[in-house]
Protein backbone atom coordinates (compact mmCIF):
# COMPACT_ATOMS: atom_id res chain seq x y z
CA UNK A 1 0.00 0.00 0.00
CA UNK A 2 1.38 3.40 -0.91
CA UNK A 3 0.25 6.91 -0.09
CA UNK A 4 1.14 10.46 -1.04
CA UNK A 5 1.38 12.83 1.90
CA UNK A 6 1.42 16.62 2.00
CA UNK A 7 1.88 18.28 5.39
CA UNK A 8 0.71 15.06 7.08
CA UNK A 9 -2.53 15.06 5.07
CA UNK A 10 -2.95 12.00 2.93
CA UNK A 11 -4.17 12.88 -0.57
CA UNK A 12 -3.85 9.57 -2.41
CA UNK A 13 -3.63 5.92 -1.49
CA UNK A 14 -3.05 2.80 -3.57
CA UNK A 15 -4.69 -0.41 -2.38
CA UNK A 16 -5.98 -3.72 -3.69
CA UNK A 17 -9.20 -3.37 -5.66
CA UNK A 18 -11.13 -5.69 -3.34
CA UNK A 19 -10.47 -3.27 -0.48
CA UNK A 20 -11.74 -0.18 -2.30
CA UNK A 21 -15.35 0.99 -2.52
CA UNK A 22 -16.39 3.80 -4.83
CA UNK A 23 -18.26 6.63 -3.15
CA UNK A 24 -21.25 7.61 -5.33
CA UNK A 25 -21.04 11.06 -6.89
CA UNK A 26 -24.26 12.06 -5.09
CA UNK A 27 -22.61 11.72 -1.66
CA UNK A 28 -20.59 14.65 -0.36
CA UNK A 29 -17.20 13.48 0.92
CA UNK A 30 -17.85 15.28 4.21
CA UNK A 31 -20.87 13.01 4.71
CA UNK A 32 -19.12 9.81 3.64
CA UNK A 33 -17.12 9.34 6.86
CA UNK A 34 -20.14 9.02 9.17
CA UNK A 35 -21.80 6.70 6.64
CA UNK A 36 -18.78 4.37 6.67
CA UNK A 37 -19.16 4.19 10.46
CA UNK A 38 -22.72 4.77 11.69
CA UNK A 39 -24.35 4.20 8.31
CA UNK A 40 -23.15 0.65 7.80
CA UNK A 41 -23.66 -0.18 11.49
CA UNK A 42 -27.40 0.46 11.25
CA UNK A 43 -27.80 -0.77 7.66
CA UNK A 44 -26.14 -4.14 8.24
CA UNK A 45 -28.94 -5.82 10.26
CA UNK A 46 -31.55 -4.62 7.75
CA UNK A 47 -29.82 -6.62 5.04
CA UNK A 48 -28.57 -9.54 7.10
CA UNK A 49 -32.00 -10.33 8.53
CA UNK A 50 -33.92 -9.62 5.30
CA UNK A 51 -36.03 -6.91 6.92
CA UNK A 52 -39.35 -6.48 5.15
CA UNK A 53 -40.24 -2.98 3.88
CA UNK A 54 -43.61 -3.57 5.56
CA UNK A 55 -42.00 -4.09 8.98
CA UNK A 56 -42.63 -1.97 12.03
CA UNK A 57 -39.30 -1.11 13.64
CA UNK A 58 -38.30 0.69 16.82
CA UNK A 59 -35.03 2.60 17.26
CA UNK A 60 -33.81 3.15 20.83
CA UNK A 61 -31.73 6.30 21.10
CA UNK A 62 -31.63 9.05 18.48
CA UNK A 63 -27.96 9.98 18.42
CA UNK A 64 -25.02 9.28 16.14
CA UNK A 65 -26.38 5.85 15.18
CA UNK A 66 -30.09 6.30 15.78
CA UNK A 67 -30.59 9.37 13.58
CA UNK A 68 -29.17 7.43 10.64
CA UNK A 69 -31.16 4.29 11.49
CA UNK A 70 -34.46 6.17 11.28
CA UNK A 71 -33.54 7.63 7.89
CA UNK A 72 -32.50 4.26 6.43
CA UNK A 73 -35.56 2.47 7.80
CA UNK A 74 -37.99 5.10 6.50
CA UNK A 75 -36.42 4.95 3.05
CA UNK A 76 -36.61 1.15 3.25
CA UNK A 77 -40.37 1.49 3.67
CA UNK A 78 -40.71 0.64 7.36
CA UNK A 79 -42.91 2.30 9.97
CA UNK A 80 -40.40 3.70 12.47
CA UNK A 81 -40.86 4.52 16.16
CA UNK A 82 -38.21 6.56 17.94
CA UNK A 83 -37.69 5.45 21.54
CA UNK A 84 -36.09 8.52 23.10
CA UNK A 85 -36.42 10.91 26.01
CA UNK A 86 -35.97 13.91 23.69
CA UNK A 87 -39.01 14.75 21.49
CA UNK A 88 -37.07 17.15 19.27
CA UNK A 89 -34.67 14.41 18.20
CA UNK A 90 -37.55 12.30 16.89
CA UNK A 91 -38.72 15.30 14.88
CA UNK A 92 -35.23 15.91 13.48
CA UNK A 93 -35.28 12.60 11.62
CA UNK A 94 -39.04 12.41 10.91
CA UNK A 95 -39.83 9.26 12.87
CA UNK A 96 -43.46 8.24 12.46
CA UNK A 97 -44.02 8.32 16.21
CA UNK A 98 -42.15 8.62 19.51
CA UNK A 99 -42.22 6.76 22.81
CA UNK A 100 -40.30 7.64 25.97
CA UNK A 101 -37.46 5.11 26.05
CA UNK A 102 -37.51 4.94 29.87
CA UNK A 103 -41.27 4.59 30.33
CA UNK A 104 -41.62 0.83 30.80
CA UNK A 105 -45.41 1.00 31.13
CA UNK A 106 -45.80 2.89 27.85
CA UNK A 107 -43.54 0.38 26.11
CA UNK A 108 -45.46 -2.61 27.50
CA UNK A 109 -48.67 -1.12 26.07
CA UNK A 110 -47.12 -1.70 22.63
CA UNK A 111 -47.25 -5.46 23.21
CA UNK A 112 -46.65 -7.54 20.10
CA UNK A 113 -46.30 -4.65 17.63
CA UNK A 114 -42.66 -4.63 16.46
CA UNK A 115 -40.84 -6.88 14.02
CA UNK A 116 -37.47 -5.49 15.07
CA UNK A 117 -36.12 -3.09 17.67
CA UNK A 118 -32.64 -1.64 17.20
CA UNK A 119 -30.87 -0.44 20.34
CA UNK A 120 -28.17 2.18 19.79
CA UNK A 121 -27.66 3.13 23.45
CA UNK A 122 -24.98 2.08 25.94
CA UNK A 123 -27.10 2.14 29.10
CA UNK A 124 -29.32 -0.41 30.76
CA UNK A 125 -33.08 -0.20 30.15
CA UNK A 126 -36.09 -2.37 30.95
CA UNK A 127 -35.34 -4.97 28.28
CA UNK A 128 -38.26 -7.15 29.34
CA UNK A 129 -40.57 -4.30 28.34
CA UNK A 130 -38.94 -4.10 24.91
CA UNK A 131 -39.16 -7.87 24.47
CA UNK A 132 -42.88 -7.61 25.25
CA UNK A 133 -43.25 -5.04 22.45
CA UNK A 134 -41.91 -7.51 19.88
CA UNK A 135 -44.13 -9.63 17.67
CA UNK A 136 -43.68 -13.42 17.70
CA UNK A 137 -40.26 -14.16 16.12
CA UNK A 138 -39.37 -10.48 16.56
CA UNK A 139 -35.80 -9.41 17.16
CA UNK A 140 -34.12 -7.09 19.68
CA UNK A 141 -30.82 -6.17 18.05
CA UNK A 142 -27.99 -4.36 19.85
CA UNK A 143 -25.81 -1.87 17.98
CA UNK A 144 -24.70 0.10 21.03
CA UNK A 145 -22.25 -1.55 23.44
CA UNK A 146 -23.85 -1.86 26.86
CA UNK A 147 -21.82 -1.18 29.99
CA UNK A 148 -24.08 -3.43 32.09
CA UNK A 149 -25.42 -6.98 31.60
CA UNK A 150 -28.63 -7.45 29.61
CA UNK A 151 -31.16 -8.70 32.12
CA UNK A 152 -34.07 -10.68 30.65
CA UNK A 153 -36.37 -12.09 33.31
CA UNK A 154 -39.18 -13.53 31.19
CA UNK A 155 -37.11 -16.09 29.30
CA UNK A 156 -40.08 -18.44 28.93
CA UNK A 157 -42.09 -15.72 27.17
CA UNK A 158 -39.14 -15.18 24.84
CA UNK A 159 -38.94 -18.92 24.09
CA UNK A 160 -42.69 -19.32 23.70
CA UNK A 161 -42.91 -16.59 21.04
CA UNK A 162 -39.53 -17.52 19.51
CA UNK A 163 -38.23 -13.99 20.01
CA UNK A 164 -34.56 -13.32 19.37
CA UNK A 165 -31.72 -11.20 20.77
CA UNK A 166 -28.72 -10.39 18.61
CA UNK A 167 -26.05 -7.79 17.98
CA UNK A 168 -23.54 -6.72 15.36
CA UNK A 169 -20.70 -4.22 14.85
CA UNK A 170 -20.27 -2.92 11.28
CA UNK A 171 -20.69 -4.85 8.03
CA UNK A 172 -18.99 -6.45 5.04
CA UNK A 173 -17.54 -4.52 2.08
CA UNK A 174 -20.44 -5.84 -0.02
CA UNK A 175 -22.99 -4.37 2.41
CA UNK A 176 -21.02 -1.12 2.65
CA UNK A 177 -21.33 -0.78 -1.11
CA UNK A 178 -25.07 -1.47 -0.94
CA UNK A 179 -25.43 1.04 1.90
CA UNK A 180 -23.67 3.82 0.01
CA UNK A 181 -25.73 3.31 -3.12
CA UNK A 182 -28.95 3.14 -1.12
CA UNK A 183 -28.01 6.35 0.71
CA UNK A 184 -27.25 8.07 -2.60
CA UNK A 185 -30.54 6.93 -4.14
CA UNK A 186 -32.61 8.18 -1.18
CA UNK A 187 -30.56 11.28 -0.28
CA UNK A 188 -29.71 9.90 3.16
CA UNK A 189 -26.98 11.83 4.92
CA UNK A 190 -25.80 12.34 8.48
CA UNK A 191 -26.64 15.44 10.47
CA UNK A 192 -23.22 16.83 11.33
CA UNK A 193 -21.36 19.61 13.08
CA UNK A 194 -18.06 20.74 11.55
CA UNK A 195 -14.91 21.91 13.32
CA UNK A 196 -11.60 22.95 11.77
CA UNK A 197 -8.69 20.71 12.76
CA UNK A 198 -7.18 23.50 14.86
CA UNK A 199 -10.26 23.31 17.10
CA UNK A 200 -10.04 19.57 17.65
CA UNK A 201 -10.04 19.98 21.45
CA UNK A 202 -13.29 21.96 21.26
CA UNK A 203 -14.74 19.22 19.07
CA UNK A 204 -13.91 16.57 21.67
CA UNK A 205 -15.47 18.66 24.44
CA UNK A 206 -18.61 19.01 22.35
CA UNK A 207 -18.65 15.27 21.77
CA UNK A 208 -18.12 14.45 25.44
CA UNK A 209 -20.93 16.82 26.43
CA UNK A 210 -23.42 14.63 24.57
CA UNK A 211 -24.85 17.69 22.83
CA UNK A 212 -23.50 17.04 19.33
CA UNK A 213 -26.10 16.82 16.56
CA UNK A 214 -25.34 14.11 15.66
CA UNK A 215 -21.87 13.44 14.27
CA UNK A 216 -18.79 15.66 14.45
CA UNK A 217 -16.61 16.10 11.36
CA UNK A 218 -13.11 17.59 11.45
CA UNK A 219 -12.34 19.62 8.33
CA UNK A 220 -8.77 19.44 7.04
Tens digits of pLDDT across the chain (220 residues): 444 445 556 667 788 887 788 999 999 998 999 999 999 999 999 999 999 999 999 999 999 999 999 999 999 999 999 999 887 776 777 899 999 999 989 999 999 999 999 999 999 999 999 999 999 999 999 999 988 888 888 888 889 999 999 999 899 999 999 999 999 999 999 999 999 999 999 999 999 988 888 899 998 8
CA distance 131 to 156: 12
Residue pair 82/95 in contact by the 8 Å Cβ criterion: yes
Q: Is 183 helix (H, G, I), strand (E, B) or coil?
A: helix
Amino acid sequence: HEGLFNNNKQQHVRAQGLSVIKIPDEIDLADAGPLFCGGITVFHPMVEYSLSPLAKVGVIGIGGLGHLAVQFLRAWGCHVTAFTTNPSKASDVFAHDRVNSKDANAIKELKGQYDMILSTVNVGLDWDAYMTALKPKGRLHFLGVLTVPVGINNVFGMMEKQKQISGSPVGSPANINKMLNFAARHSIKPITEHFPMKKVNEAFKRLESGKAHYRIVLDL
